Amino acid sequence: LNRQYNLLPEDELDNWLSAQNQDDTALLDAYREAAIADDTSAETLNYIEILNEDANWLSQLSTVEGYELLGKEEADILGQKTQILHYKYAANEDTMLEFMEVSAIKDNMLYTVTIWAEESQFAKNQATYKEMLTSLAWVDAPEAETAE
């Protein structure tokens, strides 16, 4: 698990986008419609798009020396339509890292899982890494024991 976010209510999301100098009514409308319809896949895709693209995460990465977005692929993961992001990063002059990343929503939280390795290792195992991401499963937390 790389990151998790509490999903912001619509008004807070709008304020957050404004703070990022973003004005994307279409994305907010799509997000609102998905939330009202309780369409978790659409909600996930819209929220990922808001966070990653319009709120500058991937666009910021694309301007950082050494980062390169290699591709995005739609996929069904954890029972939702989402995207597998594939990118690489020059950790230093001698080390290039490659990443695959997916995000999904559960219980009003956005979860992100990332797999990464050195470029040569990643190339050898890319199919395995993708299979790992596409076979993720939600696991319920064990119930806490109560002291008597």
How is 69-128 classified by DSSP, letter by letter? EEEEEEEEETTEEEEEEEEEEEEETTEEEEEEEEEEEETTEEEEEEEEEEHHHHHHHHHH
pLDDT of residue 117: 92
48 located within any domain: yes
Give the pLDDT confidence score for residue 7 in this predicted structure.
Answer: 58
Contact of 48 with 83, CB cutoff 8 Å: yes
Does any domain span residue 130? yes
Q: Would 120 be classed as within a structural domain? A: yes
Contact indicator for 26, 62 with CB cutoff of 8 Å: no
Q: What is the CATH classification number for the domain harbouring 31? A: 3.40.1000
Residue 147 lies in a domain: no
- In sequence order, what DSSP letters do the residues of 50-78 get, joined into one string? IIIIITSHHHHHHHSTTEEEEEEEEEEET
Question: Helices 10-19 and 25-36 sit at what angle, rounded to 10 degrees?
Answer: 160
Please tell me the predicted confidence (pLDDT) of residue 129.
Answer: 92
Domain annotation covers residue 145:
no
In a domain? residue 97? yes
* Stretches in the chain below the pLDDT threshold 70: 1-64, 108, 141-148
How confident is the model over 88-106, as pLDDT tens digits? 888 788 888 999 988 887 7
Token look-up 């319809």 returns 37
Give dist(CA 54, CA 31) in Å, integer: 13
Judge whether 142 lies within some domain: no
DSSP state of 144: P
Whole-number pLDDT of residue 146: 58
Q: How many domains would you assign to the chain?
A: 1
Q: What CA–CA distance (Å, rounded) separates 66 from 128?
A: 25
**What per-residue confidence (pLDDT) applies to 18?**
64
Q: Is residue 116 part of a domain?
A: yes
- Domain holding 53, by residue range, is 3-134
